[in-house]
Structure 1
């Protein structure tokens, strides 16, 4: 009996390892603008939420009909496709997050996320976030396998022609030093509410404190608090709102709960 238990444990461990290795081969994920069980495009902002969660995990996520990078446009097999499927239940919302390759093979399948909230927009949001915890628990780091850029090989000089190209390496440019910033501590916890272009951060009043606009870089937002324009970014696990005031760089620490 112990032998069977040990064998089962090894199979589960190897399955989890293989799954981790597989998702590590992908940098991009394509998200549809409408899931099959919904009636409208981005209904309940569920597609926007799925894209945001995948970006939070570290993927570069794009809607499937938007502008995408050239390396992905040339070969969509370089990306996974996200699907969210619903299992109908009485008084409960059940959603499962699935990632498939270009041939329709399932690379990742989450647990069934559940919510018993009565309001549809809240229930779908909570169920998808619950399903996402399965993906959140899987270690992910893109290993460059799928989207490795082709290496350019310099043509050999023709016979009898002396190459005048210098083989000396070019000097590495030295980046300018970072501007010093005056840092302020966080005033309190801010709660992120999803919008069509990013998030709005509200306090416990509730009052809108900051508007965040998504960029192509994960954990990097264009920010506006009504009086100052700047950026919100994560450094060493801490969120900062950086902006200029009287030609001086300011940095405010933020406690954000997504």
Structure 2
């Protein structure tokens, strides 16, 4: 008899956990800085995390930006993103966690790894390796609204129903401050991408390949960002003083 009771409890626990999946959530919040980082968006990790979650189909906001009333009024309607680092000798290890408002883990990735020696490519490659676990999980928002549990109260008085307010308008993407190209840059192939040099010759930008065509993780020695092609032109986009900057590039491959 005890065995049946224990089996029932295990099954009930599993069923409760299975009912709460990433499909219950439309929104995901990403912090400006992960716990292991020393500065906001270090190595471009937070921007890359936001981009990869959006590619999965989520609506993603940085947790210090303007968020829709649906989240502001109830943080339980959004998942919270954490990236955890496990220190290892000569290896960068990162794990992606998606948690609900109570801190319960709804999704945990595999441990993404990279043996790159330079910090920026090592962290970016380890993060993308961790995200491959999310690629294996189907996602389609099912319209479920996650409500924060309420304490028991006296029976509520039935009120007259009022029409639901219209959904908030979609948040427009930030408009970058655009800078014109300073001169032609020449691409030299490397093991993981390219390095762009000027006529000095001096290395101006380092590009790392991603799984998306014409989309690179970029670093100019001061700022981390992305290089991508838009409307036939190349741009280096990065944040400076919390403002998005887009530098136009003339690249000869």
Please list, as runs of the form range in 1=range in 2, the aligned pairs for 1:1-258 lying within 5 A after superposition. Answer: 18=18, 22-146=21-145, 153=161, 190-194=213-217, 199-201=226-228, 209-211=233-235
Q: 1:40 to 1:198 in 2, by over 3 A?
A: closer
| 8 A contact 2:44–2:224 mirrored in 1 | no
| 8 A contact 1:85–1:96 mirrored in 2 | yes
Q: 1:141 to 1:75 in 2, by over 3 A?
A: same
CA distance in 2 between counterparts of 1:101 and 1:130 reads 23
Structure 1 match to 2:184 = none
Q: 1:107 to 1:120 in 2, by over 3 A?
A: same
Post-superposition offset of 1:193: 2.4
How many residues end up aligned between the 2 structures?
164
Q: 1:224 to 1:46 in 2, by over 3 A?
A: closer
CA distance in 2 between counterparts of 1:210 and 1:199 reads 10
Structure 1 stretches of 4+ with a deviation exceeding 2 A read 152-155, 193-202, 208-213, 223-226
Q: 1:71 to 1:142 in 2, by over 3 A?
A: same
Structure 1 match to 2:170 = none
CA distance in 1 between counterparts of 2:130 and 2:217 reads 18
Q: 1:190 to 1:132 in 2, by over 3 A?
A: closer
Unaligned runs of 5+ in 2: 1-10, 148-159, 164-211, 238-245
Q: CA RMSD in A?
A: 3.5
| 8 A contact 2:24–2:142 mirrored in 1 | yes
Unaligned runs of 5+ in 1: 1-10, 156-188, 203-207, 214-222, 227-258
CA distance in 1 between counterparts of 2:127 and 2:217 reads 14
| Cα deviations by residue, 1:10-36 (Å, 9 ceiling, x for unpaired) | x9xx89x938x6110000010010000
Q: 1:190 to 1:108 in 2, by over 3 A?
A: closer
| 8 A contact 2:97–2:108 mirrored in 1 | yes
| Cα deviations by residue, 1:89-142 (Å, 9 ceiling, x for unpaired) | 000000000000000000000000000001100000000000000011100000
Post-superposition offset of 1:198: 8.0
Q: 1:199 to 1:120 in 2, by over 3 A?
A: closer
TM-score by length of 2: 0.56
| 8 A contact 1:93–1:124 mirrored in 2 | yes
| 8 A contact 1:71–1:147 mirrored in 2 | no
Q: 1:101 to 1:39 in 2, by over 3 A?
A: same
